[in-house]
Amino acid sequence: MQAILQVKGLTGGYSPRRPVLHDLNFTVKAGEMVGLIGLNGAGKSTTIKHILGLMKPHSGVVEVDGVTLEQDTERYRSAFAYVPESPVLFDELTVEEHLQLTGMAYSVHEEAYGSKREELLSEFQMTPKRKAFASHLSKGMKQKVMIMNALLANPPLYIIDEPFLGLDPLGIRSLLERLVEVKQAGGAILMSSHILATVEAYCDRYIVMHQGRIVAEGTLEEVARTAGVETRSGSLEEAFYRLVSGGSG
């Protein structure tokens, strides 16, 4: 499978004298969902900010769809969609106008745009709110708009940071079902979440971060082996606690 996201030797943070991230190396390939997990302060958000191009690495390289941000800024940025933990919308645009703006930004074909828009509005129970301004939406509804925008864009890579906060059960189910479809269609997904049971159920591989370093990576069996957990009886949650608590369980 083609590597859509490649992180090579990434060291970075807010101050060159005190890096937050230390020599990170991982890939996310087409047709797979990778779970990025760790305690608060482990470096997950900082890693995502470097991938998004919001922070410049002290050293190392981040490639999306075969290019770095410096090599081809337009191709790099158009190759991913980002769903943040806290939704960011334009207060004076409606739900439908946000979708229209995304369609224009990602050059979604006009004929396909209409059907995709209606499908997403219906699936995420947002049809009655299509003309509502963002400032009038609840946090959960704003998160749905962010998710719909990402799915409408249909890029090679999805970067999803704590997507379930504020979502109702139907919204969570719709998102997970859609992510499975994205993966089956060849999309690459990097998802950060604290809900380990969901990460275990839906992700193909896992990246466990602790104190700015990757302490385990791979399938559940590989992560469990690194943590010293019996694969047959162990879970991702048990392996995670072993890895981040020094083996104390």
Q: List the CATH number of the domain containing 55.
A: 3.40.50.300
Mean pLDDT of 78-97: 95
72 and 94 together in one domain = no
Do 162 and 240 belong together in one domain? yes
Q: Give the tens place of pLDDT for each residue, 11-68.
A: 999 988 899 999 999 999 999 999 999 999 999 999 999 999 999 999 999 999 999 9
Q: What is the DSSP letter of 155?
A: -
Please write the tens of the pLDDT for every residue from 158-185. 999 998 888 889 989 999 999 999 999 9
Q: Which of 154, 179, 201 is the last residue of a domain?
A: 154
Last residue of a domain, one of 132, 154, 176: 154
Q: What is the pLDDT of residue 16?
A: 83
* C-beta separation of 2 from 58 below 8 A: no
Answer for the pair 40, 209: CB distance below 8 angstroms, yes or no.
no
At which of 131, 154, 177 does a domain end? 154
**Residue 116 near residue 105 (C-beta atoms within 8 A):** no
Task: Kindly report whether the global pTM for this prediction surpasses the value 0.85.
Answer: yes
Count: domains in the chain: 2
Are both 143 and 49 inside the same structural domain? no
Indicate whether 215 and 93 sit together in one domain. no
Note whether 187 and 124 are same-domain residues: no
Is 249 among the domain residues?
no
DSSP letter assigned to residue 41: T
> Which pLDDT value is given to residue 166?
82
- Rounded to the nearest angstrom, the gap between the alpha carbon of residue 100 and the centroid of all alpha carbons in its chain is 22
Give the pLDDT mean for 200-204.
Answer: 95
Output the average pLDDT for the chain.
Answer: 94
State the residue range of the domain holding 138: 88-154
Question: Same structural domain for residues 71 and 93?
Answer: no
- What is the mean predicted confidence (pLDDT) over 223-241? 85
Distance CA(110)–CA(99), nearest Å, equals 12
Residue 200's nearest CA partner among 148, 236, 245, 244 is 236
